[in-house]
A and B are shown apart, each in its own frame.
Chain A
Amino acid sequence: MTEAHSSGALVLADGTVFRGTAVGVGGIATGEVVFNTAMTGYQEIATDPSYAGQVVVMTAPHIGNYGTSSFDDQAAAPFCTGFVVRSMSRAPSNWRSEGSFAGWLKERGIIALSDVDTRKLTRHIRDRGAMPAAIGAEVTEAELTAAASAALPMAGQDLTQLVTTARPYVRHPSGQARSSVVAYDFGIKRDILTQLTSRGAEVHVVPATTAAAEVLELAPTGVFLSNGPGDPEPVTAAISAVRQLLGKVPIFGICLGQQILGLALGAKTHKLPFGHHGGNHPVRNLHDGTVDITSQNHGFTVDLWSLTTGSAPSRRGVPGPELLPVEVESDYGAVVPTHQNLNDGTLEGLECRDVAAFSVQYHPEAAPGPNDAVRLFDRFAAVMDGG
């Protein structure tokens, strides 16, 4: 091309090298490589704190087409460590665009690659699992290989510490507050806050390590457990806080929030081979059989079988409800699976029968992705109203 670009590369922990053109800043960064199949919403993805510690590969080839807009940000800054695309647009076009996505990444110090065979990379991750990698521009491949082999795996790290708010803050609804929600910030997306406040909630956003007693002091009508990055197991402070809150105040969790709720209930979580990252995941409501198309971004899942003596039957063809237990007994009474992913049969939602707590693994706030499941926020509002 006429613009001179330096080359860059992504080196995986298994030694595989993917070369491309550097379109972000120079340097080296490491992270777990994950692919996202959403065809729009790159800016929301780049600013979703759940991508902390990850290098994001977009499977949609043209990225940056409609530029950037501060309206789309999910956090003040991007937390992903790198961004990889097939073709970075240089001339964005949209009535709201404030500038190019490549420029935006550069300003925010993100290393990004374009012109990569992202499909080959995606297939590699699909077949071998998400793995640590080093992404770099204006560096040697030897440096990258060394960095990749030294990169930490995702499991076992508490990444919420990188993204949670340092001190509490409050978001007010536009009108009269109808409820008071304490939101644990494990990496909360702005659109979640918007969904809560637009339903009349006054939201007290608190750091991930906030103790249960502090929460209860605020006398909330509900507690929200946010999305967030990485492995839920090391997020021990929050897990024990939730154990103390269960039964005292209605709880709603999204994504990492569901995993923390699951761990608090005594279930185990485990890592999925390459996670769910995209905007087209079919989720069945096990109660009425309807299917929502959902936005997802997680690498771990709650295993309800761990609360039983049984185990999941092996899967044949399109996954069915038999892959989940019907009901399990926890430290807080009965727990039922409420939602299931139809691609791989994993748990997408759970509900406690004896205490007011429910959660979903996907993102009803969308941003990016379909709005099919947004009514879950209504449900939370109704639960807090005593419904």
Chain B
Amino acid sequence: MPRRNDISTILVIGSGPIIIGQACEFDYSGTQAVKVLRADGYRVILVNSNPATIMTDPEFADATYVEPITAEIVEAIIAKERPDALLPTLGGQTALNVTMELAERGAFERHGVELIGAGLDAITTAEDRGRFKEAMDAIGIRTARAHYVTTLDQAMDAVADIGYPAMIRPSYILGGGGTGLAADERQFRDIVINGLDASPIGEVLVEESVHGWKEFELEVMRDRNDNAVIVCSIENLDPMGVHTGDSITVAPAMTLSDREYQEMRDEAIACLRAVGVETGGSNVQFAVDPETGRRLIIEMNPRVSRSSALASKATGFPIAKIAAKLAVGYSLDEVANDITGATPASFEPALDYVVVKAPRFDFAKFPSVPPILGTSMQSVGEAMAIGRTFPEALQKALRSLETGRSGLNADPGELPLLELDTAEVLTRAATPSPDRLYAVAEALRRGVDLALLSEITHIDPWFIDQMLQLVEVRHELAAGKPERELLELAKRFGFSDGQLAYLWKLGVEQVQSHRDDAAVRPVYKTVDTCAAEFVAQTPYFYSTFEEESEVPAPAGRTVVVLGSGPNRIGQGIEFDYCCVHASFALRDAGYETVMINCNPETVSTDYDTSDRLYFEPLTAEDVLAVVAQEQPTAVVVQLGGQTPLSLAGALQAAGVTIAGTQPDSIDAAEDRERFAAICRAAQVPQPPHGTATSLQGAEEIADEVGFPALVRPSYVLGGRAMRIVFTVDELSEYLRELYGAVPGGEVDLSEAPVLIDRFLEAATEVDVDAIFDGDELYIGGIMEHVEQAGVHSGDSACVVPPPTLAPGAIDHIEAYTEALARELEVRGLINIQFAVKGDAVFVLEANPRASRTIPFISKATGVPLAKIATRVMMGASLAELRATGVLQVPARPDYVSIKEAVLPWRRFPGEDTLLGPEMRATGEVMGVGSTVGVAYAKALLAAGHTVPNQGALFLSLADRDKPLGMEVGGLFHDLGFRIFATHGTAGALVRHGIPATGVDKVGEGPYDPVRLIEDGQINLVINTPRGRRARGDGALIRKSATRHKVPCVTTIQGGLAVARSLTEDPSQITAVTSLQDRHRALGGPT
């Protein structure tokens, strides 16, 4: 069936901010779909609140709405843009949920919008576990025995039938939130109560446990002619019981016989038909009992997913792109396979390599959460690796994670394991955790029996034997010398030079030179969807150690862009955005572009983005090998965050040209002493500060700079381990903790010195993103933070244009930015953080590289900063770029843009929600409006905070926040809120003529704030902490608010912004304007 000509405008819904369980895979999917629909002549309307996405770049859709993804606002967009059809399957659970809400409101009938891709019935059947089970029963596909309940009583009846252990799964939930395995009644009750609460429709499924079974996923595509193909099979190395997002997964499936696989395939296709997914991609999950082969279907997602992004990257079959084509009427055989160009998409990719995906965790950021994996997803990112064999791919995946490991042990990271007794090693191997595989390998090294390991881990013996082979090779290597035969053996099993250096007690450079002498070098093979059966047109490569390389000899001027690796807190989609822009800009400027990255979720690893894609770990060894192959003119390291920056030194040492700002400047900005000298030379004031190499030194410096002081270890990302201390005692306690010393013991700071800065209280923090070409500075934006200095910039909201900065301060900021850029010899981007008190401006830090705010500011102003910076890095001047129209300087916006951080508290309910110098946000949203209030209201809505406009406020303030607190209290009082407050705060309010009710301390009386929250009497909490140690009550109140979904603001500036947003006219908040219209009004690029 050909293209549908009866529809012309299509609305695509994105997935909103990056949260655990829903990350940049939906930017990849959405970008592909928007591109392909537009290329097919459709008018595409896009809504997504996440400014860091490529899809929301104004050039992708015809009208882009960076607006909250709520039913009310999406309906406003529908009313304005009048789309004929809505494609709900590309924006994850967010898009499906809002689609169902829109349907319930009758929005589709009202505006004559047709759902394409998946109808409501299909969505409901797939999402509602009860209906899904019925649908599967009807076609004879086995599901786990289960009962679907809406009350605890029903749940108790259900478990009486099923027995323990029992699985509890809330309906309509993303990333497995609220899902859990209960071994007994006590656990069961807890999980059911949470699950009923977590499910938006208050229902859970109580299910037979398949814990420890093998887990598989099939990615299925179906078209309107009922043609169906399996794009990819994925086998989880971690058995059932660990969420797929947290599992190491392998493609294709490794341990199924053909008969088992074909039966699973038939069932997956039958499942799509029964659910009623007419067109597009779906993901179907199965559990297989390893003892009997008994197979159950677990669930299906009638939409593109994290797994479909992985499957697309793993096979070269672009699921989202083809799903979009199928949604508008094409059949699979009418769509060409891009990779071959000569065969249709109605086929099933054949893989002649192995793909391993490994999850990346950030448990260190959430100390209340034990690093144990379960059925609720906790990972924040993932890396994918391709090798010709599983052992090779596994080792590449593990080193791609950037967790300090060089592979599966045989590196310094194994040393702590060597000291454990075998019982402890086995306990660790048996406990699903981010590190369990290292314990499995250690057990194998000690000769623990394969069968025993398989029994305690439930990992399939085939995978354990493959790891055993790695351990055997390791023994062979350790017993030998760096000669050709062993080097080849090591490399074929994926050992990195780092591991070989460890095993042979050599330097990495020595291993490298042995390899050079023996000519043991990687070759590059193509991901071609067809196991070499047809000639591939698309240059998508991975390294391996075999005989034949398939990359053509380099021709022309090539630039390599280094991506940012797996997402983690502090380094996410924003940097991928910048890398993708660099690639586009370089292509525009006539370069051949080469991307190196290992994150399967991203747009940068779409084979369409760059001229050549190398899916490789971002380590010096792997990157230098690609550089040797490509012989690039330059390598771009300043756009992908810390990952590529940390490689700059090694690249430069190997004689590689770094584009733009040189590594020495990056070092000068990161090194406290050198940076202080730069500031002195540039005549830019810094807060008093010092660097300590001993505990005593730290105390002396703190005394000198004064308290409160900001302390942190040198060279860290995202404010890891940063803290504000108010006394000497707090300082030494912090340092002991940080360096793991026993209380009263010696703290060795000589290896990693500690930075101590005077913390400027009540200062406004400002972020600046600018481009410097050696002569001229272009300020991309000055962003004023809502929260004061001390809250990590990644966790704070920021406003552009800056609403409260004095003109004098802005003059200083501009002058200081230029002076620092000049002194640091920046060519390209620089991000500077300032603290502002009145007209006085102090520089906090300068980073001569892309910052997290580049996409936000680019969208706020309409100027594509990353693209312009890339051109500057390659030698263009801003004047030239203006003259050629690449840089079109816009007018000052007459609207306000706010970026708000999105934090994972719902996922980690035990965690204190206090904001601090350590970043914990997973994503961000953007709100745009005529005033700060409107923009903030939109940002809050987009971030998922449903702030009530009436009810009761609980206010508890630190003394320093009380002056501003009175204004906040007054505003809420005027809005009609009743105010409860702690005694001190209540007294201050009453003295200011604001009615307030004092409450008791937690646990000390009838008016206990935690009880008030639990009883549902409080609708909003503003709780600001008094320094680090004011943990007790505040923490309890904040956690209770999180648990009961009561919005909780932890800074007074945030509270003020919330109050102001509530005073806005609600019709302003639902008014929508596209980015294109806003930018056009600024006279910038359109």
Contacts and interface: CB of A to CB of B under 8 A. Distances in A.
A69 B492 CA distance: 30
A302 B132 CA distance: 46
A66 B262 contact: no
Which of A93, A278, A368, A369 has the most chain B CB within a 10 Å cutoff?
A: A93
Contacts of A90: 465
A91 B461 CA distance: 8
A62 interface: yes
A91 B462 contact: yes
Interface string A262-293: 00000000000000001111101000011101
Interface in A73-124: 86-87, 89-96, 115, 117-120, 122-123
B255 A94 contact: yes
A59 B532 CA distance: 8
Given A40-B256, A289-B225, A1 B469 contact: yes
A44 interface: yes
Which of B255, B258, B343 has the most chain A CB within a 10 Å cutoff?
A: B258
Given A37-B533, A126-B533, A2 B472 contact: yes
Nearest to B1: A289
B390 A343 contact: no
A368 B350 CA distance: 14
Contact of B465 (A2, A91, A95): A91
A282 B344 contact: yes
A120 B472 CA distance: 27
A371 B262 contact: yes
B257 A66 contact: yes
A290 B546 contact: no
A370 B388 contact: no
Contact of B225 (A91, A122, A290, A293): A290
A371 B252 CA distance: 19
Given A66-B256, A117-B547, A122-B531, A278 B352 contact: no
A293 B332 CA distance: 12
B898 to A, nearest CB: 48
B348 A293 contact: yes
B304 interface: no
A261 B311 CA distance: 41
A342 B252 CA distance: 24
Contact of B352 (A61, A289, A343, A367): A61
Interface string A248-268: 000000000000000000000
A317 interface: yes
A122 B259 contact: no
A161 interface: no
A65 interface: yes
A278 to B, nearest CB: 6
A49 B198 CA distance: 58
B548 A342 contact: no
A289 B341 CA distance: 21
B227 A291 contact: yes
B344 A40 contact: no
Which of B259, B261, B388 has the most chain A CB within a 10 Å cutoff?
A: B259
A118 B350 CA distance: 14
Interface stretch (B184-192, B289-297, B908-916, B984-992): B289-297
B485 to A, nearest CB: 12
B344 A280 contact: no
Contacts of A133: none
A8 to B, nearest CB: 15
Summarize A's interface: helix, strand, loop or mixed: loop
B75 to A, nearest CB: 38
Contact of B290 (A62, A95, A318): A95
B263 to A, nearest CB: 8
Contacts of A123: 532, 548, 550
B292 A95 contact: yes
Which of A39, A60, A281, A290 has the most chain B CB within a 10 Å cutoff?
A: A39
Interface in B522-578: 525, 530-535, 546-548, 550
Contacts of A93: 255, 460-462, 465
B258 A37 contact: no
B476 interface: yes
B461 A282 contact: no
A291 B225 contact: yes
Contacts of B353: 61
Interface residues of A, number: 56
Given A95-B290, A290-B227, A62 B390 contact: yes
B235 to A, nearest CB: 10
A154 interface: no
A318 B548 contact: no
Interface residues of B, number: 63
Given A1-B472, A119-B546, A293-B229, A59 B350 contact: yes
Given A2-B476, A91-B465, A119-B546, A291 B332 contact: yes
A122 B532 contact: yes
Interface string B626-642: 00000000000000000
Nearest to B468: A91
A282 B533 contact: no
Nearest to A289: B225
A72 interface: yes
Interface string B338-356: 0001111011111111100
A61 B389 contact: yes
A65 to B, nearest CB: 5
A71 B257 CA distance: 11
Nearest to B462: A93
A62 B463 CA distance: 12
Contacts of A317: 336, 341-342
B336 A318 contact: yes
Contacts of B450: 91
Contacts of A119: 352, 388, 525, 531-532, 546, 548
B959 interface: no
Which of A37, A126, A318 has the most chain B CB within a 10 Å cutoff?
A: A318
Nearest to A341: B343
A40 B258 contact: yes
Contacts of B258: 38, 40-41, 44, 72, 279, 367-369
B257 A60 contact: no
Given A2-B476, A120-B546, 4 more contacts: A119-B532, A120-B548, A278-B531, A343-B343
23 contacts: A1-B469, A1-B472, A37-B350, A38-B350, A39-B350, A40-B261, A41-B258, A44-B258, A61-B353, A86-B388, A91-B465, A93-B465, A119-B388, A123-B532, A123-B550, A126-B532, A278-B531, A282-B346, A317-B341, A343-B347, A343-B533, A368-B262, A370-B262
Interface of A: 1-2, 35, 37-41, 44, 59-62, 65-66, 69, 71-72, 86-87, 89-96, 115, 117-120, 122-123, 126, 278-282, 284, 289-291, 293, 317-318, 342-343, 366-371
Interface of B: 225-227, 229, 233, 252, 254-262, 265-266, 290-293, 331-333, 336, 341-344, 346-354, 388-390, 450, 460-462, 465, 468-469, 472-473, 476, 492, 525, 530-535, 546-548, 550
Give 7 nearest A-B pairs by CB, closest first: A41-B258, A91-B465, A59-B531, A368-B258, A120-B548, A93-B462, A37-B350
